[in-house]
Amino acid sequence: MSEPQAGRRVAFLVAPEGAEEVELTEPWRAVARAGGCPVLVSTTTGPVQAFNHLDRGDQFDVDRVVDDVSADDFDALVLPGGVANPDQLRTDGRAVAFVREFFNAGKPVAVICHGPWILVEAGVLAGRRITSWPSLRTDIVNAGGEWVDEELVRCDCGPSILLSSRKPDDLPAFCEALVAELASQEVTL
């Protein structure tokens, strides 16, 4: 597997509370191991609280606040799941706009589990093939997306590549596809 160009900046967008810890940490580690630069972006400063399903997990320090960044600052975006995480993010107008910027700029977006809820809110799923946690199927279909039950889906329909997976068990394929996508991009900072 090839590695991304050194210094590839990847935004990981999470709410102040509720991101599924393993869906944040495993892709983060994969990006860092491959020579990329993961950046934790949230709607507030200070630490964010991750969860292991319904139990509190570790806290992680925010690197940047969504109000102070744009898609131009990054090469790709990762949207971890957890039920509360995307549900909080979809109610924050700036977070929704930040996500939409990546699609408008044609930059890769990787999303897992419940993460697609913010994509529904951003209005970027029409005509796109995607997977997620099964309970999001109706929301995705109602937003114009084509929902499928697969470990990993790569949708190259529109200016942006969309990678999606269903759940933590899919993380090995998700992380491998994320690193491969970063390696294939010709974007330079």
Instruction: Name the active-site residue from 53, 114, 157, 175.
Output: 114
| Torsion over CA: 112, 141, 95, 74 (sign) | positive
Is the CB of residue 74 less than 8 Å from the CB of residue 103? no
52: helix, strand or coil: strand
77: helix, strand or coil: strand
Ranges of H-type helices in the chain? 21-33, 84-89, 93-105, 116-122, 137-142, 171-184
Is 53 a residue of the active site? no
Instruction: Name the active-site residue from 37, 53, 113, 175.
Output: 113
Is the CB of residue 14 less than 8 Å from the CB of residue 85? yes
How far lies 103's CA from each of 64, 71, 92, 107, in Å? 20, 9, 18, 6
Is 114 a residue of the active site? yes
> What is the separation of C-alpha 108 from the centre of its chain, rounded to a whole number of angstroms?
9
Q: How many CB atoms lie within 10 A of CB 140?
A: 23
Query: Which active-site residues does the annotation give?
Result: 113-114
